[in-house]
Chain A
Amino acid sequence: MSSFTLYQPRDSGLHRLHPLTKLTLTLCGVATAVVLPGFWPNYLLFALFLLPLAAWGQIVCPLLRAVWPIWWPFVLSLFLVQGLFWPGGTPIVTLGPLSFKQEGVLFATAMAGRILVLIGSFLLLSLATRPDALMNALTARGLSHKLAYIILAAIQIVPRFQAKAETITAAQQSRGLETQGNLLRRARALLPLLGPLILSSLMDVEERAIALEARGFGRRTLRTSLILLSEQPWEKGVRALLLLATAVLILARTVLALR
């Protein structure tokens, strides 16, 4: 498997699940995160639903390592923006003209939990599912192979960008660019790092499009796959139950909101 995916191969029950079952789990997790009210339920959802699933897939550490660098910038900005700029509210900490509002902090706590589950759900899917197997499962259910490719490319873009960014950073440091240090120095280093990343990515797009066409991507013929997907007899039932439970949750939440 290419290093440009997050997929972590393991011999686990989670990995053996049909890709559509894992996709259903993810989408239900996302929907639940959005509709769950209150400040703490999403943290419980992460701890009691996503982490046990990750443990079943033997990928707790990779999941936490992948979640953290994406989650903390959101958390930081949420707490700063909501805490400092919440209209009105009760100040809990005052620093000169700025004060943290209790309501803003509570809202940020709730939103951070929601984002934690959103990120965690998608990363769990990415870590436990081969992207090509997922696309194969979706195209077998009638999804256009072009759309499948777009989804696959989107899944792969983060690790691909990470690998490219590491190489670019190394190349620019080798030309004397200091990327560590104070905020100003780091800000100055952004353009030499982002410039080649964007330019080379645009060039990659052109090369990739040519390479795909050269391999018959645009042909309208019946496609077969080398990947054989297996499905446990009970998986369809689990998917139906998950969808039903999520639908009930959304309905209940809507009814409660309308009251």
Chain B
Amino acid sequence: MQLSLQDIHFAYAPDAVALRGITLRIAPGEQVAIIGANGAGKTTLIKQMNGLLKPQQGQVLVGDWDTRRYTVAQMARRVGLVFQNPDDQLFKQTVADEVAFGPRNLGFDAAHTARAVTAALEAVGLPDVANAHPYDLPSSQRKLVALATILAMETPVVIMDEPTIGQDGRGVQRLGEIVASLSENGRTVIAISHDIDFCADHFTRIVVMAQGKIIADGTAEIVFSQAEILAQASVTAPQIARLGAALGLPGVPLHVESFIAALRAKKGET
């Protein structure tokens, strides 16, 4: 489902302008990471995408739905937003019940809900804790439960707010697999994150924000090669890319494999 933001302006107060003319189109199945310093407008932008905030100027379309004409609960059929803090939403007695909450709100029947819950818990690697109380799980797993609650809603667009916070290496890897799997199934994945390595590894498109504007938009290789833009957004390129640049390697290596290939290419030259 296409997401289209056209010249979005938004201010919390006259002296607190958060978005200044954002125009962005995201195609179905894209993997988009939005990065930038704190206060750049990232959270405000994703809240525009599911209608939690309405544009004061401009238009946000999710498919053919204008967010101004739908409640957030209605928008939840198309856009699932995973909040940063799982404790802002968990309240059921079991993990399975918690994950079923969204599908039930959307009117899934019992069989559909059961299938969606099982699939979501398997996707986040927590099928064994379906009957546990959410608050008996460590916070990293509660965060995955919060993600499962959104995955079970089967929305065509999934947005994650800082998904890797509190996750260990295995958890981050699991999140990367989820991003890839959602995208393979044609679902759009958007994340805002300060975890630059996670963004570089798992997202095909990087959007850089600063002071309420988009200042760069492209593949990880293109975005992370623009040192001035990154400095403007107070973002540091992935360590491996910086090492590649320091060694004068061609291109912008973002993974160990591309780094080795670039190193070999450079050695071959010399």
Instruction: List residues of chain A with CB under 8 Å of any chain B CB.
Output: 164, 167-168, 170-180, 191-192, 195-196, 199-200, 203
Contacts and interface: CB of A to CB of B under 8 A. Distances in A.
A104 B28 CA distance: 63
B91 A192 contact: yes
Interface of B: 47, 50, 52, 71-73, 76-77, 79-81, 83, 85, 87-92, 101-102, 105-106, 135, 149-150, 153
B109 to A, nearest CB: 15
Contacts of A178: 71, 73, 105
A168 B88 contact: yes
B89 A196 contact: yes
Contacts of A179: 73
Given A170-B72, A180-B71, A199-B135, A175 B105 contact: yes
Nearest to A203: B87
Nearest to A178: B73
Nearest to A173: B72
A188 B42 CA distance: 32
Contact of B90 (A164, A191, A196): A196
Contact of B88 (A176, A177, A180, A200): A200
Contact of B91 (A174, A176, A196): A196
Contacts, number: 73
A177 B73 contact: yes
5 contacts: A170-B83, A175-B150, A176-B76, A178-B71, A196-B87
A176 B52 contact: no
A179 B72 CA distance: 10
A177 B71 contact: no
Nearest to B107: A176
B76 A175 contact: yes
B105 A177 contact: yes
A199 B80 CA distance: 23
Interface hub of B71, B81, B89, B135 (most chain A Cβ within 10 A)? B89
Given A164-B88, A167-B85, A168-B88, 11 more contacts: A170-B83, A171-B89, A173-B76, A174-B79, A174-B80, A176-B102, A178-B71, A196-B87, A196-B88, A196-B89, A199-B87
B90 A175 contact: no
A22 to B, nearest CB: 27
Interface hub of B76, B88, B92, B149 (most chain A Cβ within 10 A)? B88
B73 A176 contact: yes
Contacts of A168: 88-89
Nearest to A185: B73
B90 A172 contact: no
A47 B81 CA distance: 46
B55 to A, nearest CB: 17
A170 B83 CA distance: 9
A196 B150 CA distance: 17
B83 A192 contact: no
A37 B77 CA distance: 57
A179 B102 CA distance: 14
Contacts of B71: 173, 178, 180
A103 to B, nearest CB: 44
Nearest to A201: B87
Contact of B50 (A172, A174, A200): A174
Contacts of B150: 174-175
B149 A175 contact: yes
A130 to B, nearest CB: 21
A58 B18 CA distance: 27
A172 B106 CA distance: 12
